A and B are shown apart, each in its own frame.
Chain A
Amino acid sequence: MTALGLILLTSLFIAGFIVRIKSVASGRKGPGVLQPVKNVWVLLRKGSVYSEVSGIITRTAPILVLSALLVASLMVPAAGFPPLISFRGDFIMFAYLMAFSRFMMIITAFDSGSSFEGMGASREALYGMLIEPALFVLIAGLTVFTGGTSLSTIFDLTHGEGYSYVFGLIVAYIIGNITLVENSRIPVDDPKTHLELTMIHEVMVLDLSGFNLAMVQLTSMLKFAIFGSLIASAVIPWDLAPGARISLFIAVQLLFASAIGLTESFRSRYKMNRNQQYILTVSLISVLFFVIILFTKNIF
């Protein structure tokens, strides 16, 4: 329960914090940290505009996107607080729930009959497919290292024998890159661009409005919180006092948000065909991590 509460709490401010960091880095004051939540609140009560071409998919699929991700968030540990649902092999359900929400986003994008949305959907489908091996190889490495079988145990890095703080850093780096791809941030996609031809995620929600758009925005905020929680679980030792863990958790999430914000401010977006190479490089780093774990565990 605590884990879920922490994740939901984080999802409220993390998106706004990233925007704030970006604004400060470019010399502005920026909107308040809770501004995205206020936006969502307005959207939830607003009326919707539907395209004549779209059918039941646009009306239902965004809801399923959020529902799937909510169930996925029930499986995520938060720095030693156990998740509500945890069973052997639950990381598979976690990854496939995210794939399900991606599937629903893609068919929502095509339902409008706009070719821009199709363009974004095809890119999102390809990048989502290419990043999955990175996540799974990372989880395989963690399984070998900790000997655990579910998300609630494999992120307990500090108790594995042969642990070195470097492992936490590498896991944080890999998950950070996965976040950049899954949430469509720079360098994969620019959330602030207005050019439909170059958008990936933003263009898929171009035709959504009101309640459905609120669903999608909540999903993106929740995804940040989930990945940040995974990083926090990997970095924070699990046997500290609960109060210390909670404050460290918030600190790590804020650090994670700052890292994303600073990356977005100081890096430019890759050319489209460079994105595939970037994603494959993340997989390569995952494999490198796996090899290093093999060394440490003397399986090699």
Chain B
Amino acid sequence: MVILLYILFGISLVYIAATEKFSNYIRVYTLQGFLLFGMALAERESFSYVNLALILAETIIFKSVIVPWLLRRILQGTGIRNVHKRSLAGNYTVMIMILALGISLLLARMLAIHTADSTFLVIAFFTLFTGLVLISARKLIFGHLVGFLIIENSVFLFSIAIGKEFPLLVNAGILLDIFIAVLIMSIFMTRIGHRTGGFEAESLTKLTD
């Protein structure tokens, strides 16, 4: 049963790399929030209500409700819809993803740590690489933002992989990262973005003074 979650997570990453509409990014991110909740529950050994509430808050409420709402507001405010034509072509993205899957398999095997569940390590690495691919292969800042969020997902997965407890500090750090990123990005894109001419990452270099 848990394997279904892994498979769905993997397919969601494949889908993010292949799709062309930004609204699909948001949908996949929402789905990933639910899947992370399921994975966290499946790996838990004992339930304590505080921890459960925290995980619930972090994954479902934060990742599946609040952040997608903020992202949707950004999309509405800026009016961008599709992945920019000048980004890396889809073919090469998929080829790089195949390579990334192989590399994450190798890495997880080489880093075989006893306390870590190797399955999670592979998925965590694959998520990491997907996030990196999104950041480097997309021209518009929105893609970078979603890439960053996916990397945060991978940090969450790493924390599950390394230890079965969920250290408060790590989770708090993740939440803070996501919050700041989304907040800053939404302010930038809805207020300032129109003035800098386009939402490409290169236009950030014009913000010299």
Contact = CB atoms under 8 A, between A and B. Distances in A.
Instruction: Judge A-B direct contact (beta carbons within 8 Å).
Output: yes
Interface of A: 164, 166, 170, 273-274, 276-278, 280-281, 283-285, 287-288, 291-292, 294-296, 300
B94 A285 contact: no
Given A292-B3, A292-B7, A300-B118, A276 B91 contact: yes
B94 A292 contact: no
A72 B5 CA distance: 36
Pairs A-B, 10 closest by C-beta atoms: A277-B90, A280-B94, A288-B10, A276-B91, A281-B18, A277-B91, A166-B4, A284-B98, A281-B94, A295-B119
A285 B97 CA distance: 10
B94 to A, nearest CB: 4
A296 B3 contact: yes
Contacts of A287: 98, 101-102
Interface of B is mostly: helix
Contact of A288 (B7, B89, B108, B118): B7
A292 B6 contact: yes
Contacts of A295: 3, 6, 118-119, 122
Given A288-B101, A291-B105, A294-B105, A170 B18 contact: no
21 contacts: A164-B1, A164-B4, A166-B3, A170-B7, A277-B91, A277-B93, A277-B94, A280-B94, A280-B95, A281-B14, A283-B98, A284-B98, A284-B101, A288-B11, A292-B3, A292-B10, A295-B6, A296-B3, A300-B108, A300-B118, A300-B119
Nearest to A298: B118
Interface of B: 1, 3-4, 6-7, 10-11, 14, 18, 89-91, 93-95, 97-98, 101-102, 105, 108-109, 118-119, 122
Contacts of A280: 91, 94-95, 98
Nearest to A296: B3
A285 B14 contact: yes
A277 B4 CA distance: 25
Contacts of A300: 105, 108-109, 118-119, 122
Contacts of A170: 7
A40 to B, nearest CB: 37
B41 to A, nearest CB: 18
Given A291-B122, A300-B118, A284 B14 contact: yes
Given A166-B4, A296-B3, A288 B14 contact: yes
Contacts of B7: 166, 170, 288, 292
Nearest to B118: A300
Nearest to A166: B4
B127 to A, nearest CB: 13
A296 B89 CA distance: 34
Identify which of B1, B91, B119, B122 gathers the most chain A CB atoms within 10 Å of its CB. B91
B65 to A, nearest CB: 28
Contact of A277 (B10, B18, B105, B118): B18
A284 B96 CA distance: 10
A285 B17 CA distance: 12
Contacts of B18: 277-278, 281
Contacts of A291: 10, 101, 105, 122
B45 to A, nearest CB: 20
A288 to B, nearest CB: 5
Contacts of A276: 90-91
A20 to B, nearest CB: 31
Nearest to B105: A291
Nearest to B1: A164
A288 B18 CA distance: 15
Nearest to A137: B98
B93 to A, nearest CB: 8
B97 A284 contact: yes
Contacts of B90: 274, 276-277
